[in-house]
Amino acid sequence: MFTVLFPQGCTKGRSYVIDFIFKEIFGLDCTGQPADIDSVIIRHGEKTLELPDTFFSRARERWLHPSTLPEVPHRTWDISGLKLDAVVTDSRIPILYGHGGYELHGNHCRLDFDIFGSVFFILSGYEELVKTERDEHGRFPGSASLAYQEGFLNRPIINEYIELLLAFLKMLWPQVQGKKRSFRKLISCDVDFPYGQSGKSLTRLFRQFYGDIFNRADAGLAVSNLKSFMRVRSRGDYTLDPHFTFDWMMDIAERSQVKIAFYFICPDSRLPEDGYYSLVTDSVLRGLMRRIHERGHEIGLHGSYGSYRDSHKLSREVSTLKTVMKEEGIDQPCLGGRQHFLRWDTAATPRVLSEAGLTYDSTLTFPEEPGFRRGVCYEYPLFDLMSRCVLPVRERPLVAMENAFFNNAKRGKKSVNMMRRKLFELLETCKLFSGDFTLLWHNNQFHTSDLRRLYADVLSA
């Protein structure tokens, strides 16, 4: 049994990160206890490991105040000359709180790095409540994040911090091993637009046709869209619709023994952002849901555009989806999902998800930048920074979304090869830590054979 002694104050936050690291990641028995001390002390038997208490000591009296943020530019600790049994992506470790370095004197080791505070700061999204930048959808932009600005968004930095801590535990207690984990590919699809032209009303089709001709000056596109509409509607076969790729996506996944989670929108109000289908009345999509379930894949909720701050709205959407699933004979042990447009308010969304009764969420990536928004490629329990409590909802942080490569003006749509290179880099990084590679690929984003091939290659990797 390990004991972690920590200074007074911020007890719930400290206990959250201690339990996450020791119990969930290391699989070690541990108890955390407040004490009248100025640093964090890990004790087992006669040996101790001491770490500074920088973040929580600042936040104790100034919770969510800008003065509690890390200093920039951050310090770097080069561990290349140390014989540490730690998996890292680069020997130069970003230090948010502390200076780096350590001293070993007999049974006592002093590590000058506030690992517990740094992990809490990133994992909880603390920064996103302190900073005020938001985009047109009310989202915290990746460009405003410390990880992006300081150049470590592509590193699961929490995984590396935890590896370093484990290495120092092994230095003092060689019998410590840590929990064995297995790499997972978690593939998901947000069902925003299940149909292309064929799902549109005649009025919407006419507007599309008019825009293709007069606004986009593309008569070929207009004719192609019209033919698609007529072909599907005349035959009643929605598999001919270029957006209706669900069965093909499952075919590719099953060849690699991968399961896909399909997240459906169930809004109780019809905003333009929430698409143009209703699971309550759409027999085609109900049939799709039955096939998804029969083939062993997953159904989940895509919380509507306005639900990320509204627990009553999200709860009604959960209820609608569960009702439809019950009517179709679909029984799942848990229900997870993702928020539409990746909308997330760190002050409200974790609580909203919990009150709606979702088992897990997989929203957290930046819409314009793939990478490790929460610094980790493991799932973890969400923490409510407003009430300062651990929530029953698990977060499966999203590593990459295909649209991030299309939406970023710096990249444009020109380079599938660049997209391939980046996705495989992120995938291999997740493998390095036996973590989860979570990928979102929309059913309507298979415009070219190159994209279809890339999807298949990633799933088989």
CATH number at residue 366: 3.20.20.370
The tokens for 133 are: 């930048």
**d(Cα 107, Cα 105) in Å, to the nearest integer?**
6
353 φ, ψ (degrees, to nearest 5):
-60, -40
Report the pLDDT value the prediction gives residue 15, as an integer from 0 to 100: 98
Same domain, 220 and 301: no
**d(Cα 190, Cα 439) in Å, to the nearest integer?**
11
396-414 pLDDT tens trace = 999 999 999 876 545 444 5
- Residue 133, domain member (yes or no): yes
* Residue 421: its H or E element: helix 416-432
Same domain, 275 and 203: no
Same domain, 107 and 207: no
- Residue 147, domain member (yes or no): yes
CB under 8 Å to 137, separation ≥6 — which residues? 341, 343
Same domain, 106 and 74: yes
> What band does 207 get if pLDDT is binned at 50, 70 and 90?
low
Same domain, 441 and 292: yes
- Residue 164, domain member (yes or no): yes
Q: Crossing angle, helix 449-460 and helix 416-432, to 10 degrees? A: 10
Report the pLDDT value the prediction gives residue 409, as an integer from 0 to 100: 47
The stretch 45-64 carries a mean pLDDT of 97
Same domain, 312 and 396: yes
pLDDT at 235 over 60: no
Question: For the chain, what percent of residues have pLDDT higher than 90?
Answer: 83
Nearest Cα neighbor of 159 from 439, 437, 438, 435 is 435
Is the whole model's pTM more than 0.75, yes or no? Answer: yes
- Residue 178, domain member (yes or no): no
- Residue 58, domain member (yes or no): yes
- Residue 179, domain member (yes or no): no
Q: Phi/psi class of residue 74: alpha, beta or left (left: φ > 0; alpha: ψ in -120 to 50)? A: beta
Same domain, 142 and 290: no
Ranking 63-67, 219-223, 262-266 by mean pLDDT, the lowest is 219-223
Ranking 165-169, 221-225, 254-258 by mean pLDDT, the lowest is 221-225
Same domain, 126 and 31: yes
- Residue 301, domain member (yes or no): yes
Report the pLDDT value the prediction gives residue 209, as an integer from 0 to 100: 63
Tell me which amino acid residue 315 is.
S
**d(Cα 332, Cα 358) in Å, to the nearest integer?**
12
**d(Cα 424, Cα 405) in Å, to the nearest integer?**
14
**d(Cα 167, Cα 202) in Å, to the nearest integer?**
64
- Residue 318, domain member (yes or no): yes
Same domain, 252 and 131: no
Across the chain, which distance is largest between two alpha carbons, in Å?
81
Same domain, 121 and 144: yes
316-375 pLDDT tens trace = 999 999 999 999 999 999 999 999 999 999 999 999 999 999 999 999 999 999 999 999
Same domain, 132 and 204: no
Q: What is the mean pLDDT of the chain?
A: 92
**d(Cα 324, Cα 301) in Å, to the nearest integer?**
12
Q: Specify which residues 189 forms β-bridges with.
A: 262
**d(Cα 60, Cα 388) in Å, to the nearest integer?**
12
With 0-12 / 13-18 / 19 or more C-beta atoms within 10 angstroms meaning exposed / middle / buried, residue 446 is buried
- The domain in which residue 228 lies consists of 199-236
Same domain, 227 and 259: no
Number of domains forming the structure of the chain: 3
pLDDT at 221 over 90: no
The tokens for 334 are: 């848990």
Nearest Cα neighbor of 433 from 154, 163, 80 is 163
129, 346, 411, 440, 460 from 415: Cα distances, Å = 35, 33, 8, 19, 21
Report the pLDDT value the prediction gives residue 146, as an integer from 0 to 100: 98
